[in-house]
Chains A and B, each alone.
Chain A
Amino acid sequence: MDKFTVFTPQLLPQEELFASGHRACVGCGEALAVRLVCKALGRDVVIVNATGCMEIVSSQIPRTSWKVPWIHTLFENTASVASGAEAGLKILRKKDRYSGGKVTVVAMAGDGGTSDIGLQALSGAMERGHNLLYVCYDNEAYMNTGVQRSSSTPLGASTTTSPAGEKSVGQFSWKKNMPAIAVAHNISYVATASPSYPFDLMDKVRKGVEATGTSYIHILSVCPTGWRCGSDMAVTLGRLAVETGVFPLYEVEDGKYKLSLDFPRLRPVRDYLKHQGRFRHLTDVIIDKIQDRVTDEYLKLRRKASED
């Protein structure tokens, strides 16, 4: 696919494959991301969706928001269902029982469905190398069940199961590095993306589709409800996450890291944290600790990207 630029929004497909009228919260970053992913994918897909926000807001018997083939079964098995769908289509084609064009199987899950309960199934699929694209929409907690912490919740975030308190800073552990876990499976394409950078996101989706074997895209999806920010903040916060280095945009093609956007100087993490109620309780000491970690991780990433 042609590389999108800021001058080419008119090239975007007008067709909405993820229909409006779904029940996502106002200002949902994930719905925006799904819409862009679907635009990039086109019609020739089978989408396998984990239990979670997106499944709940887009499907309710007898209605659906999906204009493409879509299946939801359970929470933790998305990569496995997708493995089966991919294998099924492959053998049907081989046996001349399916003659349509190329179909891409796309698994979609949230951060809980990916980095916690679905990690084993995803690891299995990546290890076996099924030809599918796995997209994780990371809103950094179990939002569908009411903002409980996951292993993808960042340190210091107050959630309903990591509440800030007299003896608690909120989330006590650092965010699990899912893209690194995907990279460790030696798959050919891993990327991070954000709907705040729509052309970059769509480009990566197309690359993921073209890549051989399993590819993995990790999308930061701002959740105004769970992050306790304004419903007009999804795009802004997505940009701030990237500009502060909290969520760098990069690709790993055949093990080779490449920053999609590099900043000679990162904005202070405080600029990102201050808009979110989930971080409101943080002291300067904790914020400094987060700043150090973000800077450190960013430099490590930049070093990896500069390696041959």
Chain B
Amino acid sequence: MMSQRVGIEISLAVAEVAKLADVDVVAAYPITPQTHIVERLAELVANGELSAEYIPVESEHSAMSACLGSSAVGARTFTATAGQGLELMHEVVDVAPSLRLPIVMAVANRALSGPLSVWCDHSDAMGVRDCGWVQMFAENGQAAFDLSLCAFRIAEDPSVLLPTMVHLDGFSLSHVIEPISMLEKDELEGFIPPYEHPFPLRPDKPVTMGAFAPPVIYTETRKAQEVALRSSKKVILQAWKEFGHRFGRYYSPVEGYKSKEATTLLLTMGSFGETATVAIDRMRDNGESVGLINLRLWRPFPFDEIRQAVRNADIVIVFDRCLSSGGPGGPVCSEIRSALYGEKKQPQVVSFIGGLGGRDVTPDDFVNVIRRGIEIAEKGSDEEYEMIGVRE
């Protein structure tokens, strides 16, 4: 059966991925805006379409903890969360890569309290930035579906064995119905091999997992994790390449839109990349030399690809959906600056922050951001960053 393009809510498409991957265990706790994913999975298990154990845990801390347990005995494990949920499970999120458990988690990005906000920004994702997971951001429904599928293959690759997070913007992706080319199980044949953990918890071959590390060995364990995460990039690229060859949709760590010869580049992460293309088109029609860079692979950070992508630009305007309070501005911008520092030819990097707590950012706003960014690059500014759309 050929794949079909259907109108489907993106959360449901992500749940469909877990079904296609034939996950063994789902442990999850309801939190807006992720709930539709796990509700759908509960339904799939309840009506027999998915043979899995669904553990309706009593907190996100327990959700990720149960995921550790099921993954450690060799079961393919999936969960989803958002915002406060990711914050509550933070402690456990750190443990998964240290035990080399390839859990796959969808995060419907949400702002953090307080004040309480169920709406989207990337503050939750930035809180787990350094936890050692492979992390990627979807820009639309199709990417959310495709990247989630690839996530299982990447995470479980014997040379990777690292948990993988797929970020999709809360509401603006999670709750939106988009036309998505869904894949059928028989089309996937072999793309996600059966999950075999090399050393699961089994009585016939007892292992000790999670022993503690004194100073004499802790550094080495962290280094080993870091090496594994950095090396995962080859597998990620290979998985995306094969996905492209088989299903016709190609993904790369950094995506350019009309960016090749542009002198000014806007850089976004997540669904704003889609909105920003409208602004870029408009400005191009106006004869302005602007382009867009969308950052898809967040961890391991694609240093080389970023350097490549901006090599012809004079100005890079980074638009962050998160504020590093009291710090240099946007967390993505910090990383871009750090990636470009020391390069022979460096573009000027300008930092903008907006879209916090679900605040809409329109194509007009992006046009203004680009114009203002160019102005700052030319005239300079006393501020580390500018926050857009703030009502005084």
Contacts and interface: CB of A to CB of B under 8 A. Distances in A.
Interface of A: 43-46, 48, 55-56, 59-64, 66-74, 76-77, 79-92, 94-95, 97-98, 100-101, 103, 120-121, 123-124, 127-128
A13 to B, nearest CB: 15
For chain B, which range describes its interface: under 10, 10 to 19, 20 to 34, or 35 or more residues?
Answer: 35 or more
Given A85-B72, A88-B71, A90-B53, A121 B58 contact: yes
14 contacts: A46-B202, A48-B69, A56-B212, A61-B213, A66-B208, A71-B72, A77-B68, A85-B69, A88-B70, A88-B75, A91-B24, A94-B51, A97-B74, A98-B73
Contacts of B66: 80-81, 83-84, 87
Q: Which of A62, A83, A97, A120 has the most CB of B within 10 A?
A: A83
A138 B72 CA distance: 27
A90 B201 CA distance: 13
Interface string B45-74: 000000111011111011101111111111
Contacts of B75: 87-89, 91-92
B221 A61 contact: yes
Nearest to B75: A88
A91 B52 contact: yes
Contacts of A70: 201, 206-209
A85 B209 contact: no
Given A72-B210, A94-B51, A88 B74 contact: yes
Contacts of B384: none
A83 B65 CA distance: 9
Contact of B53 (A87, A97, A103, A127): A87
A259 to B, nearest CB: 33
Contacts of B217: 61-62
Given A64-B211, A87-B55, A94-B51, A69 B95 contact: no
Contacts of B221: 61
A94 B53 CA distance: 10
Given A61-B212, A69-B206, A100-B203, A83 B74 contact: no
A92 B76 CA distance: 9
B13 interface: no
Contacts of A67: 206
Given A71-B209, A85-B72, A80 B62 contact: yes
Given A80-B61, A95-B24, A59 B210 contact: yes
Given A46-B203, A73-B95, A91-B75, A84 B212 contact: no
Contacts of B74: 88, 92, 97-98
A85 B55 CA distance: 11
B92 interface: yes
A249 to B, nearest CB: 30
Nearest to B205: A69
Question: 10 smallest A-B Cβ distances: which pairs?
Answer: A84-B69, A84-B66, A88-B70, A124-B58, A88-B75, A80-B65, A77-B65, A59-B211, A80-B62, A85-B69
A124 B209 contact: no
Contacts of A80: 57, 61-63, 65-66, 69
B57 A103 contact: no
A67 B66 CA distance: 23
B208 to A, nearest CB: 4
Contact of B55 (A60, A74, A97, A128): A128
A73 B24 contact: no
Main secondary structure of the interface of A (DSSP, over half): mixed
Contact of A68 (B56, B69, B203): B203
B383 interface: no
B49 to A, nearest CB: 15
Contacts of A45: 203
Most buried by A among B61, B69, B217: B69
Nearest to A56: B212
Nearest to A76: B61
A82 to B, nearest CB: 6
B201 to A, nearest CB: 4
Contacts of A68: 203, 206
Contacts of B52: 91
B222 to A, nearest CB: 12
A69 B58 contact: no
A84 B206 contact: no
B382 interface: no
Nearest to B204: A100
A224 B382 CA distance: 63
A60 B214 contact: yes
Contact of A69 (B25, B57, B202): B202
Contacts of B71: 84, 88
A124 B66 CA distance: 11
B27 interface: yes
Contacts of B206: 43, 66-70
Contacts of B70: 84-85, 87-88
B65 A128 contact: no
B50 to A, nearest CB: 11
B88 to A, nearest CB: 11
B91 interface: yes
A81 B68 contact: yes
B193 to A, nearest CB: 13
Nearest to B95: A73
Contacts of B99: 71, 73
A84 B65 contact: yes
Given A85-B69, A124-B58, 16 more contacts: A43-B206, A55-B212, A61-B212, A70-B206, A71-B201, A71-B210, A72-B211, A72-B212, A82-B69, A83-B55, A87-B55, A87-B70, A88-B24, A92-B24, A121-B59, A124-B62
Contacts of A56: 212
B209 A72 contact: yes
Given A77-B62, A91-B52, A95-B24, A46 B212 contact: no
Contacts of A98: 73-74, 202
Nearest to A101: B203
A89 B203 CA distance: 12
A86 B25 CA distance: 10
